[in-house]
């Protein structure tokens, strides 16, 4: 029987996260096909390890998970090398980049199949078909080439998450020790990365989740999450959890049930949420969630400008007023709101684009004044291919387009796009990008993130004092002295290096 190699390209500077994407795929074939995992985050030279496996001659398939950015870079290089050395091995990509840019990926010539969205059924069905020489043309979520054409099969309904097979943590532990996957973070000494739901019920037009999940969401039950977490806690000593779901708090009932179950375990946890959804949570629920260990919650605030929020299609109910009021409300419960903002969306004229940026810079400062503990993450708008969304249409009308060839994605310019640092959107002038980045530098200087555990009290104070005058008098230009300190002290940005 053919073996399968699953590869998680390097994605993180800190190397500790459980590779959930690839582990879900391993679970889908566990007991059916022999598989091995190569985790780029845990290997000095993953290509060397991959080639050692492939040399054995028993592997017919390589599955790779691909996010934009550094993961993509390694995925391209390694896929090409495998294709050259072993042209008979089928290479299958999955994950957010592969799903959203499937056409470019398949046209590269060195990727045979793309799994668009969840692979839990699609991947084993594809392997079954290939192993038994059967047609794969009807397998849901599969994208493939037929001659010159790229064929995108129908989407599968979201799977009941409680029905999925358990993740093979014990087997992963034989490849890479589980204990090392539980890293030290702001939340705890042994932090588990856990993914408890897929998709999201909303349709924000800048978000990469939307084209894949189309406003659908399915979560594991609170009991199921608890059982998994408890297993890892008891076996490997996890004391904190990062929930990597796009939207952990969709259901108040599920969040409350989980809080009740996890409370006696005395673990600290973090998750992502929407402000309008959580604004509707009762005081009792918020109090319970905090008591049960939830210390910090990540919210897509995006903008304080109601017109921009509408343009982003935040679901229609989030407003600047609500964002500010909610930051104030969370103070009462001692939950730290981590607000992300997306600056630099298109507008009718350059003057308007600039005015929107200025508005949000002032708005962020207002939020900081209301609740200084609010953590701010600043992104620059990078389009995602949400066909039909107003925002993506505007972006295209203004001359934005994605690279035509897969290799172009790993040019330095597009790498910065991936990291949402320089979006290559024609309506943003270099001066506007500088304005956003300089403000971010001063803000991060004046309020260093609490999630950077390497920054001690002295460094925090020093950088805070240094940035203070600039922050107070709105002098954000040329903040070289702050940048220098951030570089020397290796200031860590949660949005790139982990939350
Ligand atoms: C954890 C995480 C990270 C971690 C790294 C994770 C790791 N494994 O080491 C860190 C923090 C480093 C990170 C960084 C970045 N990330 Co990230 N990350 C995530 C997050 C929150 C969870 C990923 C995950 O584990 N999912 C759990 C698994 C089970 O779900 P899944 O990946 O969708 O997998 C399923 C399917 O996609 C498919 N599948 C996936 N892989 C494969 C492979 C094969 C072979 C097959 C068949 C199927 C398959 O099957 C799986 C099971 O159904 C996602 C959002 C999310 N909730 O998924 C964002 C996300 C993937 N990241 C994103 C981005 C943009 C980044 C960055 C590039 C930029 C940034 N500023 O955030 C940086 C890159 C920096 C870097 N150094 O690489 C975006 C991608 C958007 C896009 N345009 O495609 C996402 C979607 C967040 C978002 N909503 O914007 N990220
Ligand atoms: S709420 Fe968050 S995850 Fe959901 S569509 Fe909007 S940005 Fe994406």
Average pLDDT of 65-80?
A: 93
Q: State the closest ligand 1 atom to the C-alpha of 123, by its place in the atom list counted from 1.
A: 47
CB 336 within 8 A of CB 329: no
Q: Give the Å distance between the CA of 101 and the centre of ligand 2.
A: 19
The CA distance from 185 to 250, in Å, is 25
> What kind of fold does domain 182-428 have according to CATH?
TIM Barrel (3.20.20)
Residues written for the chain:
499
The DSSP call for residue 157 is P
Q: In what order do the strands lie in the sheet with 375-380?
A: 191-194, 240-243, 268-273, 294-302, 336-343, 375-380
**pLDDT above 80 (res 79):** yes
Task: Give residue-wise pLDDT tens across range 308-341.
Answer: 998 887 766 889 999 999 999 999 999 999 999 9
The answer to whether residue 499 scores a pLDDT higher than 90 is no
CB 275 near ligand 2, within 6 Å:
no
pLDDT at 386: 66
CA gap 412, 419 in Å, rounded: 11
14, pLDDT greater than 70: no
Domain boundaries, the chain: 3-152, 182-428
Low-confidence winner among 26-35, 77-86, 450-459 (lowest mean pLDDT): 450-459
Q: Ligand 1 mean position to 19 CA, how many Å?
A: 10
Secondary structure class of 277 (helix, strand, coil): helix
Question: Which ligand number lies closest to the CA of residue 24?
Answer: 1
- Evaluated on CA atoms 50, 133, 157, 390, the torsion sign reads positive
Ligand nearest to the CA of 70: 1
User: Which CATH number does the domain 3-152 belong to among 3.40.640.10, 3.80.10.10, 3.40.50.2300, 3.40.630.10?
Assistant: 3.40.50.2300
Task: Mean pLDDT check: name the lowest of 67-71, 72-76, 162-166.
Answer: 67-71
CA 415 to chain centroid: 16
pLDDT at position 496, please? 53
- What is the mean pLDDT of the segment spanning 41-66? 97
Find tokens 């349709």 and name the residue.
203
**What's the pLDDT tens digit per position in 131-140?**
999 999 999 9
Task: Summarize pLDDT for 192-207 with one digit per residue, the tens.
Answer: 999 999 999 998 888 8
From 17, 37, 59, 67, give the residue whose CB has the most ligand 1 atoms within 8 Å, as the site to mutate: 67
| 491, pLDDT greater than 70 | no
Tell me if 120 CB under 6 Å of ligand 1: yes
Cα of 278 vs centre of ligand 2, distance in Å, is 14
Cα separation, 496 vs 377, in Å, equals 10
pLDDT band at 392 (very low <50, low <70, confident <90, very high): confident
Question: Quick one: which ligand is closest to 92's CA?
Answer: 1
Closest CA to 167 of 30, 260, 64: 30
The pTM is what?
0.92
Mean pLDDT on 13-31: 91
115 lines ligand 2 (CB under 6 A): no
Q: How many degrees, rounded to 5, is the angle at CA 334 between CA 328 and CA 337? A: 60
List beta partners, residue 454.
none
**Confidence check: pLDDT of 401 > 60:** yes
pLDDT higher than threshold 70 for residue 387? no
Judge whether residue 498 has pLDDT over 70: no
- pLDDT tens track for 237-292: 999 999 999 999 999 999 999 999 999 999 999 999 999 999 999 999 999 999 99
Q: Kindly state the tokens that stand for 32.
A: 């059916």
- Name the more confident of 462 and 473: 473
Give φ, ψ of 91 to 5 degrees.
Answer: -110, 125
pLDDT band at 171 (very low <50, low <70, confident <90, very high): very high
CA distance 298 to 376: 9
Please tell me the predicted confidence (pLDDT) of residue 226.
98
Nearest ligand 1 atom, CA 63: 45
Residue with CA nearest ligand 1 atom 5: 11
Burial class (CB in 10 A: 0-12, 13-18, 19+), 430: exposed
Q: What is the CA radius of gyration of the chain?
A: 23
Q: How far is the CA of 435 from the centre of ligand 2 (A)?
A: 26
Q: Is any ligand 1 atom within 6 A of the Cβ of residue 126?
A: no
421 has pLDDT over 70: no
**242 strand-pairing partners:** 193, 270
The pLDDT value given to residue 68: 86
Q: Which ligand is nearest to the CA of 381?
A: 1
- On average, the pLDDT of the chain sits at 92
pLDDT for the residue numbered 129: 98
Is residue 24 in contact with ligand 1, taking CB distance under 6 Å? yes
165 CB-side CA count, 13 A: 17
Q: Identical fold at 3-152 and 182-428?
A: no
Higher pLDDT, 488 or 278: 278
At 239 the pLDDT is 98
Between 9 and 474, the more confident residue is: 9
């Amino acid at each position: 029987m053919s073996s399968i190699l699953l590869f998680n390209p390097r994605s993180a500077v800190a190397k500790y996260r459980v590779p959930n994407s690839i582990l879900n795929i391993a679970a889908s074939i566990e007991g059916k096909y022999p598989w091995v995992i190569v985790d780029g985050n845990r290997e000095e030279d993953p290509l060397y390890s991959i080639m050692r496996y492939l040399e054995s001659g028993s592997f017919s398939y390589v599955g790779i998970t691909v996010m934009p950015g550094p993961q993509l870079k390694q995925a391209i290089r390694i896929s090409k090398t495998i294709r050259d050395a072993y042209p008979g091995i089928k290479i299958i990509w999955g994950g957010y980049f592969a799903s959203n840019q499937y056409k470019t990926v398949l046209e590269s010539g060195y990727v045979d199949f793309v799994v668009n969205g969840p692979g839990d059924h699609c991947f084993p069905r594809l392997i079954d078909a290939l192993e038994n020489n059967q047609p794969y043309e009807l397998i849901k979520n599969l994208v493939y080439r037929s001659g010159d054409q790229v064929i995108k099969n129908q989407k599968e309904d979201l799977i009941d998450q409680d029905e999925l097979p358990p993740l093979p943590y014990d087997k992963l532990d034989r490849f890479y020790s589980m204990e090392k996957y539980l890293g030290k973070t702001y939340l705890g000494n042994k932090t588990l990365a856990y993914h408890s739901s897929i998709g999201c019920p909303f349709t924000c037009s800048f978000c990469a989740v939307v084209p894949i999940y189309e406003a659908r969401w399915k979560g594991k039950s609170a009991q199921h999450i608890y059982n998994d977490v408890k297993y890892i806690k008891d076996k490997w000593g996890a004391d904190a959890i990062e929930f990597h779901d796009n939207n952990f708090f969709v259901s108040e009932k599920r969040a409350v049930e989980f809080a009740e179950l996890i409370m006696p375990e005395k673990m600290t946890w973090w998750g992502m949420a929407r402000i309008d959804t959580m604004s509707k949570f009762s005081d009792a629920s918020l109090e319970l969630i905090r008591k049960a260990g939830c210390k910090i919650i990540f919210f897509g605030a995006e903008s304080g400008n109601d017109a921009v929020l509408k343009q982003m299609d935040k679901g229609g109910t989030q407003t600047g007023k609500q964002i500010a009021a909610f930051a104030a409300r969370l103070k009462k419960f001692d939950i730290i709101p981590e607000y992300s903002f997306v600056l630099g969306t298109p507008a009718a004229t350059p003057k308007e684009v600039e005015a929107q940026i200025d508005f949000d810079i002032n708005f962020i400062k207002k939020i900081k004044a209301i609740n200084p503990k609010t953590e701010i993450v600043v992104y620059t708008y990078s389009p995602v291919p949400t066909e039909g969304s107003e925002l993506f249409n505007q972006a295209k009308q203004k001359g934005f387009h994605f690279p035509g060839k897969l290799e172009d994605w790993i040019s330095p310019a597009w790498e910065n796009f991936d990291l949402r640092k320089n979006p290559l959107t024609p309506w943003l002038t270099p001066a506007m990008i500088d304005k956003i980045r300089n403000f971010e530098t001063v803000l991060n200087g004046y309020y260093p993130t609490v999630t950077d555990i390497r920054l001690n009290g002295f460094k925090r104070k020093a950088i805070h004092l240094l940035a203070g005058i600039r922050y107070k008098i709105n002098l954000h230009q040329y903040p070289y002295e702050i940048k220098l300190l951030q570089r020397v002290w290796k200031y860590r940005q949660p949005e790139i290096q982990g939350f």
